[in-house]
């Protein structure tokens, strides 16, 4: 049932995780659409596949190597399960949301998925040893972390020489003047209500940040256009699951989600916000 507004990411995700499985699906992220007609789960799997290829997981699977991957901001564990079952990867998923950890553990147990574990940890101070993973992976979690430089340095620190950091997230394509922020403050308040506290950076911020840490950037792709149909699918899910979502996050939560789809779609179309993916290799 609704508990009222909670914008800090851990509390926000504790509040919305169950509703978001209805609104966004098993994988709590945008979809990459080839022609715009695919169901949402096909498109979310396609985004995960883009991350998989950027991380070079198929090559490792083909050579029989078991990679160890840190999934920073693991949601309810959908991508982690896909990596373990599809590519034999050993995944450690972390999130600051206690509900997220509990849900991810339960889903993996219910589905009998081995090779995944989930812990409540912060991606900006993960406390894992240096060079203890082959891949550090942040699928749509960076925008929720206030200290994004710490996220990048923590990811770079925990990958071994020759390992990779892969990240995809919402992007800011241009500076937003203060007068515009004021004029659109209701739109920004709607986004905050639906998605919690968030900060969007340009694609170059992540690529340059990883390069400054000594990594070699291999991929920097803008995915704004192919992610655009996501909003239609989210609105459709909000209509289909109206009563269950209202039960979980209240009328105001449901309304904020639907309005935020309209706001984000407009920002996508007018060139303000978008989506992108970066991958970089640690030399050695």
| Candidates 139-147, 228-236, 247-255, 262-270; binding stretch for ligand SAM (CB under 6 A) | 139-147
Shorter beta-carbon distance to ligand SAM: residue 44 or 190: 44
- What lies within 8 Å, CB to CB, of 255 at 6+ separation is none
Tell the residue number behind the tokens 């916000």, with chain if given.
273
| 27 in contact with ligand SAM (CB under 6 A) | yes
Which residues inside 44-73 make contact with ligand SAM, applying CB under 6 A?
A: 72-73
Tell me the backbone φ, ψ of residue 184, rounded to 5 degrees.
Answer: -105, 25
List own/partner pairs for 232-235 with CB under 8 A and 24 or more apart: 233/31, 233/39, 233/40, 233/43, 234/23, 234/24, 234/40, 234/261, 235/261
Exactly one of 31, 79, 253, 274 binds ligand SAM (CB under 6 A); that residue is 79
Minimal distance, residue 123 CB to ligand SAM, in Å: 3
Minimal distance, residue 177 CB to ligand SAM, in Å: 28
| 193 in contact with ligand SAM (CB under 6 A) | no
**SS3 state of residue 7:** coil
Shorter beta-carbon distance to ligand SAM: residue 97 or 117: 97
Q: Cα–Cα distance between 140 and 206 in angstroms, integer?
A: 13
b/e code 227-259 from CB counts within 10 Å (16+ = b):
bbbbbebbbebbeebeeebbebbbeebbbbbbb
Minimal distance, residue 147 CB to ligand SAM, in Å: 8
- Rounded to the nearest 10 degrees, what angle do helices 78-87 and 40-54 cross at? 60
Residue 99-138 contact track with ligand SAM, rule CB under 6 A, x = bound: -x---------------------xxx--------------
Tell the residue number behind the tokens 């739109």, with chain if given.
187
Minimal distance, residue 180 CB to ligand SAM, in Å: 25
| 144 in contact with ligand SAM (CB under 6 A) | yes
Q: Cα–Cα distance between 164 and 275 in angstroms, integer?
A: 20
Q: Cα–Cα distance between 19 and 243 in angstroms, integer?
A: 11
Exactly one of 31, 33, 56, 75 binds ligand SAM (CB under 6 A); that residue is 75
- What lies within 8 Å, CB to CB, of 175 at 6+ separation is none
Shorter beta-carbon distance to ligand SAM: residue 26 or 266: 26
Residues that bind ligand SAM (rule: CB under 6 A) add up to a total of 24
Exactly one of 139, 156, 167, 220 binds ligand SAM (CB under 6 A); that residue is 139
Query: Which residues sit at the interface with ligand SAM, rule CB under 6 A?
Result: 9, 13, 27-29, 72-75, 78-79, 94-97, 100, 122-124, 139-141, 144-145
């Amino acid at each position: 049932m609704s508990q009222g507004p909670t914008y800090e990411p851990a509390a926000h995700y504790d509040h919305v995780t169950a509703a978001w499985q209805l609104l966004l699906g098993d994988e709590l992220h945008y979809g990459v659409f080839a022609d715009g007609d695919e169901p949402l789960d096909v498109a979310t799997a396609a985004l995960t596949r883009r991350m998989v290829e950027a991380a070079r997981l198929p090559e490792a699977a083909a050579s029989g190597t078991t990679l160890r991957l840190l999934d920073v901001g693991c949601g309810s564990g959908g991508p982690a399960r896909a990596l373990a079952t599809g590519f034999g990867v050993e995944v450690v998923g972390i999130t600051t949301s206690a509900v997220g950890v509990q849900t991810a553990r339960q889903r993996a147990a219910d589905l009998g998925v081995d090779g995944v574990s989930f812990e409540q940890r912060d991606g900006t101070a993960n406390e894992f040893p240096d060079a203890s993973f082959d891949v550090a992976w942040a699928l749509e979690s960076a925008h929720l972390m206030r200290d994004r430089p710490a996220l990048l340095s923590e990811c770079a620190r925990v990958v071994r020489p020759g390992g990779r950091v892969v990240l995809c997230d919402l992007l800011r394509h241009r500076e937003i003047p203060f007068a515009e922020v004021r004029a659109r403050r209701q739109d920004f308040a709607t986004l905050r209500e639906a998605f919690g506290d968030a900060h969007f950076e340009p694609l170059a911020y992540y690529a340059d940040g990883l390069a400054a840490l000594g990594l070699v950037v291999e991929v920097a792709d803008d995915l704004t256009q192919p992610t655009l149909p996501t909003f239609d699918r989210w609105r459709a899910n909000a209509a289909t699951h109206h009563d269950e979502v209202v039960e979980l996050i209240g009328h105001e939560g449901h309304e904020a989600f639907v309005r935020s789809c309209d706001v984000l779609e407009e920002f996508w179309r007018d060139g303000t916000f978008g989506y992108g993916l970066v991958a970089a290799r640690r030399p050695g």
